[in-house]
Amino acid sequence: MRVLFVCLGNICRSPLAEGVAREILRRDAPWAAVTVDSAGTAGYHLGAPPDARAQAAAASRGFNSAGHRARAVTRADFDQFELILAMDHANLAALQALAPRSGLARVQLLLDLAPRVGVREVPDPYYGGPEDFEQVLNLVEQGTRGLIEYLRNTAAVEPPR
């Protein structure tokens, strides 16, 4: 299973989601054999590492996004990933506008995998403070828990309980 996390700039939310999901899935759902990546719907920061504030917030919880370099979503991504998870409605709409008719990917909001969270968007922290990056981490951790539930429910092989 290949999962792509998508935000606007691919320097804050989606690289955090990628780093968090890679670690939590490795620890808690190795049976799911998920590979993760991230991309942005805008190309403002192509080739840039994650925002320093995002990297600091990730490191404080034992996650790591440092190796990622920002890239833009491409039409080919819709055939290379089974699941494409947008951080907010604006990015979901941008994905839906870009999607080829024949694309195989399921495209949806990340937090729709975690309905108990009660919010559907991971807010853009770029113009915010450290607490906004903490909130991003809280939400993408919960989104990853929801992703594991989704993978349990759709797994071809019975996952361990």
Name the site residues for ligand 4NP (rule: CB under 6 A).
Answer: 7-13, 44, 124, 126
The DSSP result for 46-69, as a single string, is: TTPPPPHHHHHHHHHTT---TT--
CB closer to ligand 4NP, 10 vs 142: 10
Least distance to ligand 4NP from the beta carbon of 50, Å?
A: 8
124 as an active site residue: the answer is yes
Tell me the residue number closest to ligand 4NP, measured at CB. 9
Query: Which listed residue (12, 13, 53, 77) is catalytic?
Result: 13
Out of 37, 77, 88, 124, which one is annotated catalytic?
124
Closest to 74 (Cα-Cα) out of 94, 88, 93, 90: 94
Q: Tell me whether residue 7 is one of the annotated catalytic residues.
A: yes
- ∠ CA 3-80-10, nearest 5°, is 55
CA dihedral 109, 29, 139, 54 (to 10 degrees): -110
Least Å from the CB of residue 44 to ligand 4NP:
4
Q: Is 12 considered catalytic here?
A: no
Question: In terms of CB distance, is 91 or 105 closer to ligand 4NP?
Answer: 91
Closer CB to ligand 4NP, 91 or 151, in the complex: 91
Q: How far apart are CA 96 and CA 78, in angstroms?
A: 10
DSSP-assigned letter for residue 134: H
Nearest-approach distance from CB 130 to ligand 4NP, in angstroms: 15
User: Cβ of 115: how many Cβ atoms within 10 Å?
Assistant: 10
Among residues 28 and 131, whose Cβ is nearest to ligand 4NP? 131
Instruction: Yes or no: say if 105 and 84 are a contact pair by the CB < 8 Å rule.
Output: yes
Q: Which residues are catalytic?
A: 7, 13, 124
